Amino acid sequence: MTQTTDRLTTARPPGRPRSERAAKAIIDATLDLLAEEGGVAGVSIEAVAARAGVGKTTIYRRWPNKEALIIDALAALKAPFPDPVGDSIRDDLIAVAQAFMTDKADKKRLDCYWSIIGGAERYPDLMARFTREVIEPRRDVIRAVLRRGVSSGELRADLDVEVTLWLIMGAVAQRARAHGTGPMPDDFGVKVIDALMAGIAAR
C-alpha cells in the first residue's frame, strides 16, 4: 500500500505542467487580441481569460494588470537576440540584423508591434515601458558591438553610434513595412551591413 501511495504522489501527468500551459495560453491569447482587435484597446483581462480558457484570477496571480501582461507577451514574441562574439564586427552586425529580420518577417509580430506603436499617444506609459524593458536592451547590444568596433580599430574613431544604430534598425523596419515589394530577401541584412560598412569602417 505504501509503495502504491508513493507512486501516486510522485507521478506527474505527461506534457507541460498545468501552470506553464496556462501561462502560454494566456500569452498567446494576448497576442491574438493585439493583432486582431486593433491594439491595446482590444485587450482586456476578461477577453484574454475567455480566449485562453482560464479564470481571471489565474491571470492576476501572474500579472497585476493588462499593461504588464502585454509587455510580457510582446517580449515573448521577439526572437532570441544574439550575444555577438563573431570573428569581426561585420559578422556581429550581420547577426543582430538577421535577428531584427526574424522579428519583422512574421505578420503577427508586425501587427502586434505596430498596434503598440500606433497607440503610443493614447498609452504613453505602456509605450515607455515597452521601449525600456523590451526594445532598449536589444539596442544596447548593437551599441556595444559598435563601440567595440571603434575600440578595436575596425570602425571609424569618429563613428556616431546612435545614428548608426538607427540606420540598421530603420533599414530593416522600413523594408518589412514596404508594400508591393514581396518578402524580405534572406540576404537583406548582409547587404545592409555591407553597405553601411563602406561608410563606417576604419580607413
CATH number where 39 lies: 1.10.357.10
Query: Residue 183's pLDDT is what?
Result: 77
Shared domain check, 143 and 97? yes
If asked whether residues 139 and 66 sit together in one domain, one would say: no
pLDDT of amino acid 136: 92
pLDDT, residue 18, reads 58
Q: What is the pLDDT, as a whole number, of residue 15?
A: 46
Looking at the structure, do residues 109 and 69 belong to the same domain, yes or no?
no
Q: What is the pLDDT of residue 76?
A: 84
Q: Which residues pair with 201 in a beta bridge?
A: 155
Q: Do residues 62 and 26 lie in contact, with contact meaning Cβ atoms separated by under 8 Å?
A: yes
Mark whether 72 and 120 lie in a shared domain. no
Among 46, 76, 106, the domain-final residue is 76
State whether 89 and 63 are in the same domain: no
Mean pLDDT per 10-residue interval, the chain, length 203 residues: 42 55 93 83 92 94 92 82 84 90 74 75 84 89 94 95 94 76 84 93 85
At residue 12, the pLDDT reads 42
**CB-based contacts of 166: which residues, under 8 Å, 6+ apart?**
none
Q: How far apart are CA 61 and CA 178, in angstroms?
A: 41
The residue to which cell 513595412 is assigned:
177
